[in-house]
């Protein structure tokens, strides 16, 4: 039985796909057989960030419509054999995903994988609803700004009431907060909410804080999940997230503004 993780948010463009790519690769790096599924029908961002867009032949909707088998559609990552990608379709038909179809695909994936990471589209429409409906865990990606926090709060309501676990009266989906694009400098200037501010509003278990980082854009331009950039701050922060998710105690980093050394204080701007 696989554990199903949905990477979700209320507001769009906060870093879900970046996070889905990073945590699925991170779990694979830790030896777990992992599938990452793109629920963002019509957009197909995940395969670009994973660097496998030219290898897409069949997609999620083809499997749901039984035009291809799961095996035909799954793309095996070239860097890590534990990781497989199920790309989204470019169809304009947002209703192409059905609850029965999604359930069948997730059940089949569950037979061979330890973790299934679902990259949700933004908002609360069908794709987003189906991405979270079958989840065991939810990573709620939030930026440190009021509109993102407010929309995350709305998403928490849906996770608690509109999931399979809620309908069957099972234990609720485990919710984790992931703060992304965090800039301690801007928090200090009062331009962004602090970690404490966000936690006070959402009252969620903090899985990690990913700093605002140029490494993310470089990584996505080269089709590499940023977690493989071990020297980068964002890559290290995502690796910490994986270790925490898997139960290790790892202190949070990248929350405080970096102190300049003596040299920096004397000569820096
Ligand atoms: N930690 C970060 N530092 C800098 N830029 C980031 C960071 N995380 C994400 N970004 C940038 O933010 C933009 C949106 O990221 P991404 O596509 O992952 O968001 P999304 O939530 O999946 O968006 P959508 O809701 O459209 O699916 C991208 O340009 C990405 O490079
Ligand atoms: Mg996305």
The 3-state DSSP class for residue 96 equals helix
**What confidence score (pLDDT) does residue 263 get?**
66
Task: List, for residues 25-72, the tens digit of each pLDDT value.
Answer: 999 999 999 999 999 988 879 999 999 999 999 999 999 999 999 999
Task: Give the distance (Å) from ligand 2 centre to CA of residue 238.
Answer: 17
Angstrom distances, CA of residue 146 to CA of 46, 55, 193: 27, 39, 7
pTM for the predicted model, two decimal places: 0.95
Element holding 3 (H helix, E strand): strand 3-8
Which ligand lies nearest the alpha carbon of 178? Answer: 1
Of the listed ranges 3-7, 210-214, 236-240, 252-256, the least confidently predicted one is: 252-256
Using one digit for the tens of pLDDT, what is the confidence trace for 115-134?
999 999 998 888 999 999 99
Whether 15 has a pLDDT exceeding 70, the answer reads yes
Q: What's the mean pLDDT in 240-255?
A: 97
Write down the pLDDT at residue 264: 65
**Does the pLDDT at position 269 exceed 60?**
no
- For the chain, give the mean pLDDT: 94
Lining residues, ligand 1, CB within 6 Å? 9, 12-18, 40, 45, 121-122, 180-181, 210, 212-213, 216-217, 220, 234
* Closest to 216 measured CA to CA, from 205, 229, 198, 199: 229
What does the pLDDT read at residue 259?
A: 66
Residue 232 CA to ligand 2 centre (angstroms)? 21
Separation CA 266–CA 269 (nearest Å) = 9
pLDDT band at 93 (very low <50, low <70, confident <90, very high): confident
Residue with the smallest CA separation from ligand 1 atom 8 is 15
Residue of the nearest CA to atom 15 in ligand 1? 15
More reliable by pLDDT, 74 or 45: 74
Q: Vertex 103, ends 49 and 45: CA angle to 5°?
A: 15
Confidence check: pLDDT of 152 > 90: yes
Residue ranges of the alpha helices (H) in the chain? 16-29, 46-50, 60-64, 70-73, 99-112, 126-133, 146-161, 164-168, 184-188, 195-202, 214-221, 233-245, 262-267
194-211 tens-digit pLDDT: 999 999 999 999 999 999
């Amino acid at each position: 039985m696989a554990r199903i993780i949905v990477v979700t948010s209320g507001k769009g463009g906060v870093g879900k796909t970046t996070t889905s790519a990073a945590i699925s690769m991170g779990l694979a790096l830790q030896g777990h057989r992992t599938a990452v599924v793109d629920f963002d029908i019509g957009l197909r961002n995940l395969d670009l960030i994973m660097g496998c867009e030219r290898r897409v032949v069949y997609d999620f909707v083809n499997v749901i419509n039984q035009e291809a088998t799961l095996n035909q559609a799954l793309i095996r990552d070239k860097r890590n054999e534990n990781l497989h990608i199920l790309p989204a379709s470019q169809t304009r038909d947002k209703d192409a995903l059905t609850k029965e179809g999604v359930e069948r695909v997730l059940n089949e994936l569950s037979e061979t994988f330890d973790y299934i990471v679902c990259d949700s589209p933004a908002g609360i429409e069908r794709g987003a609803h189906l991405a979270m409906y079958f989840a065991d865990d939810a990573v709620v990606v939030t930026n440190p700004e009021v509109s993102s926090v407010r929309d995350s709060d709305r998403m928490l309501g849906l996770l608690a009431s509109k999931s399979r676990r809620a309908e069957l009266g099972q234990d609720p989906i485990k919710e984790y907060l992931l703060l992304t694009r965090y800039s301690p400098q801007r928090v200090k200037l009062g331009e962004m909410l602090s970690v404490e501010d966000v936690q006070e509003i959402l009252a969620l278990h903090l899985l990690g804080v990913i700093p605002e980082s140029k490494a993310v854009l470089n990584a996505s331009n080269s089709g590499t999940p940023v977690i493989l950039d071990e020297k980068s701050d964002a890559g290290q922060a995502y690796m910490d997230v994986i270790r925490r998710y898997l139960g290790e105690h790892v202190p949070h980093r990248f929350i405080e503004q970096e102190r300049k050394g003596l040299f920096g204080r004397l000569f820096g701007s």
